[in-house]
Structure 1
Amino acid sequence: MSLIPPKDLTLETSLVQDLPYLSENVVPRRGKILAIVTSTDKMGSSDKSTGYELTELSRAYYVFKANGFEVDIASPLGGKPPVIIDDDDMGAFDYAFLNDSIAQYKANHTIPVEDIIPDEYEAVFFAGGKGAMFDFPDNKAIQSIIRTYYQSNKVVGAVCHGPAALVHVTLDNGRPLLENKMVSGFTNDEELLLIPDAKSIFPFLLQDKIVAQGARLNKGDMYLEKVSHDKNLVTGQNPWSTWVLAETMIKQLGYTPKYREITDEENAVHILSVYNTQGSQKAKEVIKEMYQTEKKKINRVLIASHSIIAAMKGDIGRFYDILGLVTYIKKYDSAEVKI
Structure 2
Amino acid sequence: MLKKIVFSLAGVLLVAGIVLAAFVYWAMAFFPNNSGLEKLRSTKAESLAYLQSSLPPTRGKILAVVTSVRTIGTSGKVTGYELSELARAYWVFTANGFAVDIASPQGGEPYALLDEDDMAEFDYAFLNDANAQQKIKHTFKLDQIQPDDYIVVYFVGGKGAMFDFPDNPVIHHLASRFMEQGKVIAAVCHGPAALVNIKNADGSWLVANKKISAFTNAEELLLMPEAKTVFPFLLQTRLEARGAQFMAGADYLEQVIQHDNLITGQNPWSVWLLAEKTVKQLGYEPLPRRLTAEENSVALLQVFQQQGLSAAEKKIQKSSAAFSGQLVLMHSFVAAMRGNLPDMFKLIILADSTRAI
TM-score > 0.5, shorter chain as reference? yes
Query: What CA deviation, in whole Å up to 9, does each residue of 1:80-112 have, x standing for no partner?
Result: 101100101111110000000110011111111
Partner of 1:153: 182
Q: CA deviation at 1:28?
A: 5.3
1:314 aligns with 2:329: no
1:242 aligns with 2:279: no
Partner of 2:49: 20
Q: What letter is aligned with 1:52?
A: Y
CA distance in 2, matches of 1:59, 1:232: 20
SS in 2 for 1:88: coil
Identity %: 49
1:206 to 235, 243, 246: 235
Segment of structure 1 superposing worse, 28-37 or 185-194: 28-37
**Greater Rg, structure 1 or structure 2?**
2
CA distance in 2, matches of 1:174, 1:137: 17
Partner of 1:76: 105
Q: CA deviation at 1:172?
A: 2.2
1:300 aligns with 2:325: yes
1:102 to 110, 118, 131: 131
TM-score, normalised to structure 1, is 0.95
Alignment of 1:161-310 (within 5 A): 161-290=190-319, 295-310=320-335
SS in 2 for 1:87: coil
SS in 2 for 1:45: coil
Partner of 2:169: 140
CA distance in 2, matches of 1:194, 1:132: 17
CA distance in 2, matches of 1:28, 1:144: 27
Segment of structure 1 superposing worse, 152-161 or 248-257: 248-257
Alignment of 1:26-41 (within 5 A): 26-27=55-56, 29-41=58-70
CA distance in 2, matches of 1:28, 1:188: 38
Q: CA deviation at 1:5?
A: 2.6
2:349 to 324, 332, 339: 324
Kindly report the root-mean-square deviation, in angstroms, between the aligned alpha carbons of the 2 structures. Answer: 1.0
CA distance in 1, matches of 2:240, 2:343: 30
1:119 to 142, 148, 157: 148
Q: CA deviation at 1:29?
A: 1.6
CA distance in 1, matches of 2:242, 2:348: 40
Q: CA deviation at 1:25?
A: 5.5
CA contact (8 A) 2:31 2:326 kept: no
CA contact (8 A) 2:188 2:268 kept: yes
CA distance in 2, matches of 1:302, 1:135: 31
SS in 2 for 1:73: strand
Aligned length: 328
CA contact (8 A) 2:57 2:99 kept: no
CA contact (8 A) 2:155 2:191 kept: yes
TM-score, normalised to structure 2, is 0.90
CA distance in 1, matches of 2:288, 2:199: 37
CA distance in 1, matches of 2:82, 2:54: 29
Q: What letter is aligned with 2:193?
A: A
CA distance in 2, matches of 1:103, 1:171: 35
Query: What CA deviation, in whole Å up to 9, does each residue of 1:30-50 have, x standing for no partner?
Result: 010000000001111102110
Q: What letter is aligned with 1:43?
A: I
SS in 2 for 1:89: coil
CA distance in 1, matches of 2:55, 2:180: 32
2:92 to 56, 63, 70: 63
CA distance in 2, matches of 1:205, 1:6: 33
Query: What CA deviation, in whole Å up to 9, does each residue of 1:184-211 have, x standing for no partner?
Result: 0000000000100100000000000010
Q: List structure 1 segments (4+ residues) > 3 angstroms apart after TM superposition.
A: none
CA distance in 2, matches of 1:265, 1:91: 9
Partner of 1:336: none
CA distance in 2, matches of 1:114, 1:227: 29
Q: What letter is aligned with 2:332?
A: S
Segment of structure 1 superposing worse, 248-257 or 201-210: 248-257
CA distance in 2, matches of 1:205, 1:24: 41
Partner of 2:7: none
SS in 2 for 1:148: helix
Partner of 2:18: none
Stretches of structure 2 that go unaligned for 5 or more consecutive residues are 1-23
CA distance in 2, matches of 1:151, 1:261: 36
Stretches of structure 1 that go unaligned for 5 or more consecutive residues are 334-339
2:158 to 124, 129, 150: 129
